[in-house]
Every structure is written in C-alpha cells, then in structure tokens.
Amino acid sequence: MARKLSGFLPLQYASRGKRDPKAGLPFFLDNIGDDLLIILLAFVPLSEAPITVALAIAALHFSFWCIYEIGYYENDRVAILHERHGQVPVGFKQFEDGYSAKLAWAWGIALGATGVVLMWWSGVSHLANIGTIGFVFLILLWGAVLIALRSLFGFYNHVDKMSRVFVYLPLQLFKYAFPALFFVLPAAGVALIFAQIIRRWMPYVVYRYLGKEPVGFPARLNRFAVFAVLWLLLLPSNVDWSFALHGALIAAWLFFRGLSQINAARSNVRHVTEDDWRNE
C-alpha cells in the first residue's frame, strides 16, 4: 500500500531514481539543507513578513523542483535513446515505464498556486498592492517561470555535452534566483545567490572538461570564499547595519557548512619544498 501511495507523491524520481541513496547525501536532505535553506537565507532575514515569505518561497521551490524533475527523467531517457555511450543511474529502471510528467505538472501547479496565495498574503511581493490584477499576474508569471524552466531543461537535454556547460549556468540561475521576480533580494543575498550558483556550476565545468567527477573539489570552501569576496566588494556601497548583519549571518552559516573543507585546506598548507603536487 505504501509503495503504491509513493507513486502519487512528488519528487520520487529525483530522490530514488536519479540519485543513488547509498552515495552522498539523501536528496531531500541536500535539497532542503543546501538549496532551499540558501534561498531562504538570501531572501527572508530582512523581510517585513519573514514567516509568510519563507512559506511562500518553500512552496514555490518545491513547485519548481517538480518541473525540474521532469528534466532529470528526460535527461536519462535521452541518454538511453540517443547517446552512443549513454549511462543512466541505477534507480532509473524502476521508473522507466512508470514516471508521469502529467503528475509532476499537477503537483507543480498545485504547489505553485499555494506559493502564489502565500506570496499574496505576505503583502510584500512586488505586485501585492495592485489589486486582483496583480494576483492574476503573479499566477501567470509563475506559470511562465515553470514553462521557461521546462523549455530550457529540454534544450539542455538535447544539446551536445560540451554546450551543456553553458546551458547549465542559466539553469542554476533559475533554480536559486527565481524569488527575485517576486521579492526584494538584499545586497548580501545577491552575493549568496551568486556564490551558490558558482558552487553548483564549477564542479560541473570541471567534470565536463576533464571527463571525470571532480573528487575532492572543495565546493563549500569555494562558496564561502566567493561570497566573502563579493560581500566585501559590495560593502562600500551598502554601509548600513542590515547589510552587515545579514552578511555576517550568511558568512557564519557558510563557514559552518564548509568547516571540514576549510580545516582540510588549512592542514594541507606547507612549504613549497614539501609540495608533492605533480602536473600530469
């Protein structure tokens, strides 16, 4: 019974098909802890309605991911049907004939509608003060976001591997910056969103150009460094307590998340005469 019910729940392919549950973080832990939380840190702390805005963004985030998951599934279908040496994840087989894009769209629309209603109730979205027309426009705008996402991911799936490097970048921009269409994004939040996009994009660039997974690449340390540099660059034009406090909160979280990689990098520092790095 539970197994049949799970077939009607969203993001099953993303969590059990696309990702090997025995390797790395479980999908929802990674998605909530390293995607949604980053978005919330960027947009919510300085909001005038933080709780409602957080709930709205969370609903829109999972609506977005329902459609993003269709791209995941299509990516693996394309690998089997069109690629010479196409490889698919181990969990693909159990979803090969049972995945429903229509169901994913249904969940995406339902969660998106919930997010738009919450956004409207928050009273702080860009279009909250222009009456019913504004509400209708928010619905249409979110629908346009989902359609644009699906189209971009579809293009990504059907273009050659090296060209995908440059399509992957706007996909990440979509993934992390979509709330900026509806809510104010503070300057420190801009630095965080940019750092998160680079954190996801750089390992993919390395993977495509070297032809192998970038094992050992300190992505979280890289994210912390990119954020810190951009935050400091923005500081002269944002000299106020809110920018400083928001940035300090973000920096503390990123430092905590990257602590193991920061410690590893620090412990590996040595004199050049002891350097055992070799250029292959």
Inside any domain, residue 276 = no
Inside any domain, residue 275 = no
Reported confidence tier of residue 21, pLDDT bands at 50, 70, 90: low
Cα dihedral sign for 60, 161, 167, 157? negative
Q: Are residues 114 and 238 in the same domain?
A: no
Q: Are residues 172 and 81 in the same domain?
A: yes
Range(s) of the domain holding residue 205:
186-268
**128 has a pLDDT exceeding 90:** no
Inside any domain, residue 273 = no
Last residue of a domain, one of 184, 205, 229: 184
| Minimum mean pLDDT range among 46-55, 211-220, 226-235, 237-246 | 211-220
Cβ(200)–Cβ(86) under 8 Å? Answer: no
Q: Which residue has the higher pLDDT, 93 or 21?
A: 93
Q: Are residues 253 and 203 in the same domain?
A: yes
Cβ(159)–Cβ(82) under 8 Å? Answer: no
How does DSSP assign 1-39, residue by residue?
Answer: -HHHHHTTSTTHIIIIISS-TTSSS-HHHHHIIIIIHHH
Cα dihedral sign for 116, 120, 122, 127? positive
Q: Give the separation between CA 55 and CA 51, rounded to whole angstroms.
A: 6
Cα dihedral sign for 35, 190, 209, 255? negative
Inside any domain, residue 237 = yes
Cβ(95)–Cβ(17) under 8 Å? Answer: yes
Phi, psi of 220 (to 5 degrees): -75, -35
Inside any domain, residue 280 = no
Q: 26-53: per-residue pLDDT in tens? A: 778 888 889 999 999 999 999 999 999 9
Q: Are residues 191 and 167 in the same domain?
A: no
Q: Are residues 152 and 239 in the same domain?
A: no
Give the number of other Cβ atoms within 10 Å of residue 23's Cβ: 8
Cβ(122)–Cβ(49) under 8 Å? Answer: yes
Q: Which residues of 75-91 are buried (b: 16+ CB within 10 A; e: fewer)?
A: bbbbbeeeeeeeebbeb
pTM: 0.90
31: its two tokens: 């998605």
Identify which of 221, 145, 154, 226 has the alpha carbon closest to the alpha carbon of residue 179. Answer: 145
Identify which of 270, 277, 274, 223 has the alpha carbon closest to the alpha carbon of residue 250. Answer: 223
Cβ(223)–Cβ(258) under 8 Å? Answer: yes
Q: Are residues 65 and 180 in the same domain?
A: yes
pLDDT for 279: 55
Looking at every residue in the chain, the average pLDDT score rounds to 88
Q: 248-260: per-residue pLDDT in tens? A: 999 999 999 999 9
Q: 176-186: per-residue pLDDT in tens? A: 999 999 999 99
Q: Are residues 118 and 223 in the same domain?
A: no
Last residue of a domain, one of 184, 218, 239: 184
Q: Are residues 94 and 58 in the same domain?
A: yes
Identify which of 9, 120, 107, 11 has the alpha carbon closest to the alpha carbon of residue 55. Answer: 120
Q: Are residues 95 and 200 in the same domain?
A: no
Q: Are residues 19 and 103 in the same domain?
A: yes
pLDDT for 5: 40
Q: What is the count of structural domains for the chain?
A: 2
Count of all residues that appear for the chain in the document: 280
Q: Are residues 234 and 248 in the same domain?
A: yes
